[in-house]
A and B are shown apart, each in its own frame.
Chain A
């Protein structure tokens, strides 16, 4: 009897408080949306003001450069095969920079991720240190390291390789350590009970479980690193990016080489993209 009375009196309260809650939520959402739209519009106006050419002035010209390029390219179509062969070595260099950097980054990333995973680390006290190291490596844009190294070592592909490799260590290390956390630790305990060293425990106990995921992340990274190595070549030196910078500097009427580089770069990225997504699907499918 008494409980019923309470329920009856509580019901309108409950509904009211629920409605109030919904209303508050709607209000918050509306405020959030307004702030967001204001940020977006304000940001666009600021960026537009600080740009040399305005957005609305530039918009009609957006196809001018591609048209110019197509024009140049169509006139010198006969030279294309020669250009292709000319630029293949530098394209290979760009791919090699990405490949070597990914390999170095993945190998070092495996070690640093194992050292930074709870339960697997060789020195558990140093886990936070290794995590901070990975954070800093990840936060450092490649261009920073590359430019400093170019200053010290002179041009060439090596500064770009080191720069990308360092960033890759941080990026892959973090992803790898997330994979490690999900690995089954029983095999490690079994190996420990028979007196295996830390290296043996990791090599035989953990790596076989995580290799497919590692490879899948490394492939994704390789794809990203090819883009990075092309862009670093443009800013710094080495590879197809550098050739593109030179080709661009020759100016109007001579954009045929730039067109060839655009095509090569596009094809490479699409090809690597397709191959790596195919391989990743296979790898992850295998592990499931």
Chain B
């Protein structure tokens, strides 16, 4: 008897130590496997090359563009030597001839541009003088033979880059670029330029209180309409930020998600009944329906998007249909699983009262399913808003298209950050909305 216990003990001990060994193996094996995988990824994705290819100056322009903008004062060094002043150098942001912001003074061929207190750039003819505080007077003169640069020191400091064809001076206050064809002076400002009103609007340059004051004053700036509607008009049809178009794009994106999700749910519902074991007695119908769902899901939104955009052309409808097809598969699978898990007791109870089949479905099945279906549909509505952004970039509809275009042109980064903020707000809003609807329609906790 004693020996048996001892044998059991040693068995137990062996078992426990084996378990410990296995746990140790897992505790060290899994992390080292993950580490190995990451090493493999680092090699195959060429992490080392990224540091070379990555352009940090691009990141800085991107970042500085998101919170600031620049106004260009340009003097042509050929012909009459006219000055043009334009916000971000864009045609839409150009000041009308003769009008200048208060930090630029033009006097025929000469001009003085104040970049910051103490930083004044003087144009005398084609020659540019810039007395940099703490450094000294810099003189740049574009000539036909090349660009002449006169510095107070012998060697060129690192905030100036100079060659025969181009001179760039960059200080904290602004930037100057001189080539043979033109001289550019850039002054940086915080904020997003002309977000509310462009230069041609009478409201441009007004402070917030002035704008509010004129909105409610009876003195009309434009005799054709009230100040308030003029203001709305100038804002809504702002040619640079295109608020109307962007609002439409956001709406289109949400529309794609809504039509796709709801359409998929409506189509998937009857099909799910056909593929659920307890509702569809025919084996063939069930099997083929399931394969259809698998196919729809497996083909993936990307392929559906490409195939459909061939038939329907670019636009939100194509995106909605692509979402619809993929999600019909997903919903079909989920709904039929939910149908198979229906509690039979409730149906039996209804049957015991002498209910007909239709009534059994209505009062026995539907009340069990509606909460499950609704919460799945609402979850997908939120997630599809995000998908619709990507699909929009492919089919050419919605905010996704605007975003990709703004990034491809690669110069209006303030617009890119504006779109990003709008997209995040849109997704968060849909998240909140679907959570609220879920609470209202189903009740209780999420």
Contact = CB atoms under 8 A, between A and B. Distances in A.
B298 interface: yes
Interface string A227-253: 100111011000001001000100000
Contacts of A40: 259, 262-263
Given A59-B311, A151-B62, A143 B400 contact: yes
B262 A158 contact: no
A142 B400 CA distance: 11
Contacts, number: 179
B302 interface: yes
Interface in B325-340: none
Interface in B27-61: 34, 37-38, 41, 44-47, 50, 53-56, 58-59
A141 B427 contact: yes
B44 A51 contact: no
A147 B259 contact: no
A151 B410 contact: yes
Nearest to B308: A62
Most chain A CB within a 10 A radius of its CB, from B259, B262, B317, B397? B317
A154 B400 CA distance: 20
B407 A147 contact: yes
Contact of A235 (B263, B314, B394): B394
A152 B298 contact: no
A52 B313 contact: yes
Contacts of A231: 300-302, 390-391, 394
A241 B315 CA distance: 21
Interface string B341-379: 000000000000000000000000000000000000000
A75 interface: no
Contact of A50 (B307, B315, B424): B315
B50 A51 contact: no
Contacts of A135: 428, 431
B310 A65 contact: yes
Contact of B397 (A50, A54, A58, A266): A50
Contact of B258 (A43, A93, A136, A234): A43
Contact of B311 (A44, A48, A64): A64
A156 B302 contact: no
A136 B298 CA distance: 29
Interface string A53-83: 1110011011011100000000000000000
Interface stretch (A4-12, A96-104, A188-196): A96-104
B303 A265 contact: yes
Given A58-B313, A64-B311, A266 B299 contact: yes
Contact of B252 (A50, A55, A143, A156): A50
B276 interface: no
B418 interface: no
Contact of B297 (A58, A107, A273): A273
Interface in B271-315: 294, 297-303, 306-308, 310-315
A248 B56 CA distance: 33
Nearest to B56: A152
A279 interface: no
A2 interface: no
A3 B386 CA distance: 61
A262 B303 contact: yes
Contacts of B315: 47, 50-53
B391 to A, nearest CB: 8
Contacts of A1: none
23 contacts: A44-B259, A47-B256, A50-B316, A51-B316, A52-B396, A53-B311, A55-B317, A61-B310, A62-B307, A64-B310, A107-B34, A139-B431, A140-B420, A141-B427, A144-B423, A147-B404, A148-B420, A151-B410, A153-B53, A158-B47, A235-B390, A269-B298, A270-B294
Interface of B: 34, 37-38, 41, 44-47, 50, 53-56, 58-59, 62, 252, 255-256, 258-259, 262-263, 294, 297-303, 306-308, 310-318, 320, 386-387, 389-391, 393-394, 396-397, 400, 403-404, 407, 410, 416, 420, 423-424, 427-428, 431
